[in-house]
Structure 1
Amino acid sequence: MTPPEKDWFSDGKEAARKLKLDLGIDTRKDVIEGHPESADGVLEKDSRYLALESGRAAARALLEQMNTDNELDEGTVNTSISMSRNEDSTVKKTSDDRDEPSRRDHFDFPSNKSHCMTICMVPPSTAYSAWSQLTSARKACRDPGFYRWPPHVNLLYPFLEPLFHIDGTLERASAEEKKQEVRVQFMNEVTKHLSNAAKQCRPFHVNLDSFGCFGGKSRGVLWADPKSTYSSMESSAEKVDPLIHLQNMLEKEFPMCNDQRKQGSFTPHMTISHYANISDAIEAKDELQSSWEPVSFHVSEVYLLQRTGDDGQFKVAATIPLGPSSIVKIHDPPISFPGMPIVEEEWVRLERMLMKNRRKKSFKGKRRKRVE
């Protein structure tokens, strides 16, 4: 007897429903709002489309919690960091920097936020002392992101990647050609707006001489405090913080990328490592601070970094010089920083897996509390 044909869409719909229940997502029947053919602005989806969209929604919710890896907190921890700073190193802001991002001619190319893209400050490869000390510190502190991330300060993260609207009837070769055209157009627009921001910012100096922590019972992060000034002779107490000004100018060009100060003002920080809890992070901070030699470097450019997949290493997709004559240079294919490891060592992979498992447990705990 021939077994009945399997109904993949029904199975997919049921699997998506169970996943959404497990994630605490509303499973009431989805609707499309504002559909042009609907008299009341709401049109029910057909069952097959509903099954696909239901699965996508559940997957997106899960990925938002897990796919950010060791930089999950980069865009949302600024309030915690500000509270943990010493009183003499509070964030400086000008009245212009406090303004909401301007709605002028900002970037509007069809795109999605992606944790595989970031705009960040990285010590130049010529800053040998900074790279050496930071590399040693990250190794000693067993940083889960040691292979994937250079020492950095995120300015816009997650950043953007292009949306592809490709005709499904196109052959594979034609579809890839169309995607490449979209990528080129996207990068041309991105570089134009990056240049607009960079032209309004001067090169500056960064000094790393102290550390901070944030977290709680289920996580802890140790970070270096990048104090920035326009001159190595100036004090970090000056009115304008160059890193904050730079981030503000970038956000004005890309106002949708506001994660760095979603819960408060932007506070620059350079992650050293992640821990199971704040107590472990504080213990590591005290040990690191006792042996740390202050180091400084000059920043004349920042970078657009990208990686391929969750396990990939961030590489330089574009170099963004600071100053009135800024011309962004695209690197295709992206290039690695000279000081980065060629392969992920086993200890790094194990630390990364431990961190992911901690986050899964933390996410499940938060989900249970929401359900209760």
Structure 2
Amino acid sequence: MFYKTNTIDSLLAAFILTNRRQSLSRPGRPELQSISSTTSLNLSQGSSYPIGDTATPPPSSDKDWFEDGRESARQLRIELGLMSKYEDGDTAPPPPSSDKDFFEDGRESARQLKIEIGLMSKCDESSSGAGTKTNEINTCNDERSAELQDIEGKTMSQDVHFNIPSRKSHCMAICLVPPPSATKVWEKITAVRRECKDPGFFRWPPHANILYPFLEPVYNRDDDESKYDQQVKFKNEIAIHLSKAAMKCEPFNVTINSFGTFGGRQRGVLWAYPMSKYIQPRVDDEEPLFNLHRLLEQQFPICNEQRKTGAFHPHMTISHYTTNANALAAKVKIETGWESLSFRAHEFYLLERKGDDGQFKIAATITLGVDSEVEFHDPPIPFPAMPEVEEEWVNNERMAMKSRRKNGNKRTRSGRKGKELDALQNSRKEES
């Protein structure tokens, strides 16, 4: 490619200069003839590759000048492979009748050659040519504007949010997790979760979901790309959009000093509130964790489960209970003598697990701030303080919770069916 580019540039320069001699080296203008000859020599010597002896003795008439220019064009097309030496290539109009015509003919020949070898477009030709009609310029400008708008439109659609084929999976999550270096936070929260018999003790680290469930790739078997290539493309796009969100959110501090519950008669959850605050004071009073969630949801709008109730409520689950009343009783007990915990969040995590029983591990680490980086871990790595195996009590609590949820879903479904049957019977009575 380097050789071809330099050769074309040298040959084109020689060809244009040859055509320019038609007007520059006319009798009575010897000083311009000297400049043209010197420039042609310098171009030939400065090129990395010789362009051959294209210069001929000065023609003796206007007709000779025309023939010389046409022959130069023919030889150049042969050298560039645009025609064979056996073709005549005689497509030129009759010899011009004036110096101006000679000049215009030479410039037109050079322009046509540029278009032929791809160094300029027809729109460039129209806008740069002498005497171009206004409607021709407007047409080219309209075409260029449409082309630019099309390109910008595609760029924006790709830039707004993640749009690679994918589906939501409960085996993937974007979470805030205390960094492994925050050992005191890990020890205290782990102890409380054990005391409260958290069914998720083995599967989940101490965390606050930002986007859950998150995305996994959908592979196209009919695609020419292999499954591996599709996976690489998916990861690259994930990294780009995670970084776009992370770079707009500076590292922040997190304090755990309050608790809450939610649930009802058949379910209760005890949670800790991760209050977040920027390290450097800011004019806006939005907590950085809320800001991070908003930025991530902009990149992955399909992952909006954290706003099912209309607003984002970050929380770190401590344990699950059979009723909310039991969760409230545990809350009172935990709050007694609780000492505030803090850690600095300079990164967040993409977590992944294998199957419903698997432990969530670090699939990617995403740093916060303008220099945000995304580091994938293949295979995913566990948090150092997480248990290596699921203890018996944890499994028992998890199975009991799963059974409660299953029975609760059955009651919900049967209740809905009963209401539907009553409505159907009432409608039939009204019809009769």
Is the pair's TM-score, using the shorter chain for normalization, greater than 0.5?
yes
Residue-by-residue CA offset, 1:22-73 (whole Å, 9 max, x unaligned): xxxxxxxxxxxxxxxxxxxxxxxxxxxxxxxxxxxxxxxxxxxxxxxxxxxx
Answer yes or no: is 1:290 the counterpart of 2:327.
no
Q: CA offset at residue 111 of structure 1?
A: 0.2
CA distance in 2, matches of 1:182, 1:142: 41
Q: Is the 8 A contact 1:229 1:238 kept in 2?
A: no
CA distance in 2, matches of 1:223, 1:117: 21
Q: Is the 8 A contact 1:208 1:227 kept in 2?
A: yes
- What letter corresponds to residue 206 of structure 2 in structure 1? P
Which residues of 2 match residues 154-193 of structure 1 at below 5 A?
A: 154-167=209-222, 178-193=226-241
- Indicate how the Cα distance of structure 1 residues 277 and 194 shifts in structure 2: closer, same or farther if over 3 A, else same: same
- What letter corresponds to residue 404 of structure 2 in structure 1? R
Instruction: Report SS of the residue matched to 1:240.
Output: coil
Q: Which of residues 156, 161, 165 is equivalent to 1:106?
A: 161
Query: TM-score, with normalisation over the residues of structure 1?
Result: 0.68
CA distance in 1, matches of 2:222, 2:246: 37
- What letter corresponds to residue 340 of structure 1 in structure 2? M
Answer yes or no: is 1:230 the counterpart of 2:298.
no
CA distance in 2, matches of 1:307, 1:275: 24
CA distance in 2, matches of 1:150, 1:195: 23
Q: CA offset at residue 278 of structure 1?
A: 0.3
Answer yes or no: is 1:325 the counterpart of 2:371.
yes
- What letter corresponds to residue 106 of structure 1 in structure 2? H
**Residue 207 (structure 2) aligns with:** 152
**Residue 192 (structure 2) aligns with:** 137
Which residues of 2 match residues 1-372 of structure 1 at below 5 A?
A: 105-167=160-222, 178-231=226-279, 239-372=285-418
Q: Is the 8 A contact 2:178 2:343 kept in 1?
A: yes
- Indicate how the Cα distance of structure 1 residues 241 and 331 shifts in structure 2: closer, same or farther if over 3 A, else same: same
CA distance in 2, matches of 1:318, 1:113: 17
Q: CA offset at residue 179 of structure 1?
A: 2.1
Instruction: Report SS of the residue matched to 2:336.
Output: helix
Q: CA offset at residue 267 of structure 1?
A: 1.1
Q: CA offset at residue 165 of structure 1?
A: 1.9
CA distance in 2, matches of 1:197, 1:167: 33
CA distance in 2, matches of 1:264, 1:337: 32
- What letter corresponds to residue 133 of structure 1 in structure 2? K
Q: Is the 8 A contact 2:251 2:279 kept in 1?
A: no
Instruction: Report SS of the residue matched to 1:352.
Output: helix
Q: CA offset at residue 183 of structure 1?
A: 1.4
Identity in percent = 55
Instruction: Report SS of the residue matched to 2:231.
Output: helix
- What letter corresponds to residue 189 of structure 2 in structure 1? L
CA distance in 2, matches of 1:291, 1:136: 14
- What letter corresponds to residue 365 of structure 2 in structure 1? T
CA distance in 2, matches of 1:159, 1:367: 27
Q: Is the 8 A contact 2:270 2:320 kept in 1?
A: yes
CA distance in 1, matches of 2:297, 2:193: 29
- What letter corresponds to residue 183 of structure 1 in structure 2? Q
CA distance in 2, matches of 1:313, 1:179: 25
Q: Is the 8 A contact 1:114 1:158 kept in 2?
A: yes
Q: CA offset at residue 167 of structure 1?
A: 4.6
Q: Is the 8 A contact 1:194 1:253 kept in 2?
A: yes
CA distance in 1, matches of 2:158, 2:409: 35
Q: Is the 8 A contact 2:189 2:206 kept in 1?
A: yes
- What letter corresponds to residue 315 of structure 2 in structure 1? H
CA distance in 2, matches of 1:150, 1:112: 24
Q: CA offset at residue 104 of structure 1?
A: 5.6
Q: CA offset at residue 103 of structure 1?
A: 9.6
- Give the aligned length: 262
CA distance in 2, matches of 1:329, 1:352: 32
Instruction: Report SS of the residue matched to 1:291.
Output: coil
CA distance in 1, matches of 2:379, 2:303: 24
Q: Is the 8 A contact 1:202 1:322 kept in 2?
A: yes
Residue-by-residue CA offset, 1:261-288 (whole Å, 9 max, x unaligned): 0221101100000000001100111101
Provide structure 1 residue ranges, at least 5 long, that are not aligned to the other structure: 1-101, 169-174
Tell me how large the CA RMSD over aligned residues is: 2.1
Whose RCO is larger (CA < 8 A, sep 6+)?
A: 1
- Indicate how the Cα distance of structure 1 residues 183 and 103 shifts in structure 2: closer, same or farther if over 3 A, else same: closer
Higher helix share: 2
Q: CA offset at residue 238 of structure 1?
A: 6.9
